[in-house]
Amino acid sequence: MPIVSTAVSFVIALLAGAFGSVLGIGGGLFIIPSLTLFLGVHLKTAIAASIVAVIATSLGGGNVYVRRHVADVRLGLLLALATAPSAVIGALLATSVNPRVLAAVFALVLAVSAYRMLRGRRQAPAAPRDKGETAGEGRLRMRDRFWDDASRQTIVYHVRNIPIGVGASSVAGLISGLLGVGGGIVQVPVMTLLMGVPIKVATTTSTYVIGITAMAGAFVYYNHKPSYIDPALAIPVTIGVFLGASIGSQILSRLSQRLLRDLFTVVLLVYAVQMTLRIFGIGGG
């Protein structure tokens, strides 16, 4: 790659890493269309670079969230058991799925998720754990509180609908393997809307999980003959995303729960529009 293209890809990845880390979506949402639009990178090569960069996002932001006890590690590992295998399936299917059909389904999922997030933005934080929890959820001993720097208080919540959340997370893994977007675009709404997890815990846990999911998908893209992973593109993108994710993890603690939810809703709507345009062959689909 020319020096200018390398520099542009690095800047794109830096911004994507910061925003992706804050929202728990990995940055692929911004990396893939930016690389294809501004640098003319082949879509599957851009997806492969993005899915490698997602791992960097998780390493750069996830470890910070774990040390600060914001990410729910047990919940994340449980969801990873569902996302990792489906990410492999998604990556294997990526070469044969009609992109317009995939874009149509994905646009619908995003639009519905954005609508649900808008309806739920006025809801109060999840209630404390009660005696009516199921025996299975009790045995899992999920964490139910975290310290929120923005509000300066301990937020108490109750993880619910665990089987449904695990099943829905497999869809997130499938999308991660197919599109290289990290899976958080689905996983965060799953945790907040279905599982009763506060948005800040959901985004940080997603950042922690997407690295595990992306590793599974990256293995498939790397072993494809010829390999879709171009080191000349993947290296500057990965470095940029790692630095951006580290910066984003510092920003997150200063954001309020409502602002974070609103930011994520805007991202959902923008990506839904992007996928809709791709159905009609607009935007390099």
- Tokens of residue 50, six digits: 């993005």
Which pLDDT score, from 0 to 100, does residue 283 have?
A: 56
Which pLDDT score, from 0 to 100, does residue 126 have?
A: 45
Is residue 285 in a domain? no
23-63 pLDDT, tens digit each: 766 677 778 778 877 788 887 888 888 888 888 777 777 77
Is residue 284 in a domain? no
Percent of the chain whose pLDDT exceeds 70: 83
> Which residue, among 211, 165, 208, 257, has the nearest Cα to 68 in the 3D structure?
208
In whole angstroms, give the CA distance from residue 280 to residue 261: 30
In whole angstroms, give the CA distance from residue 157 to residue 150: 17
- Tokens of residue 8, six digits: 């542009």
154 φ, ψ (degrees, to nearest 5):
-85, 125
Percent of the chain whose pLDDT exceeds 90: 5
Domain enclosing residue 201, as ranges: 3-279
Whether the per-residue pLDDT at 131 is higher than 70: the answer is: no
Q: How many domains does the chain have?
A: 1
Is residue 103 in a domain? yes
Please, what is the average pLDDT of the chain?
78
* pLDDT mean over 102-106: 69
In whole angstroms, give the CA distance from residue 85 to residue 219: 12
CA 32, distance to chain mean position in Å, is: 14
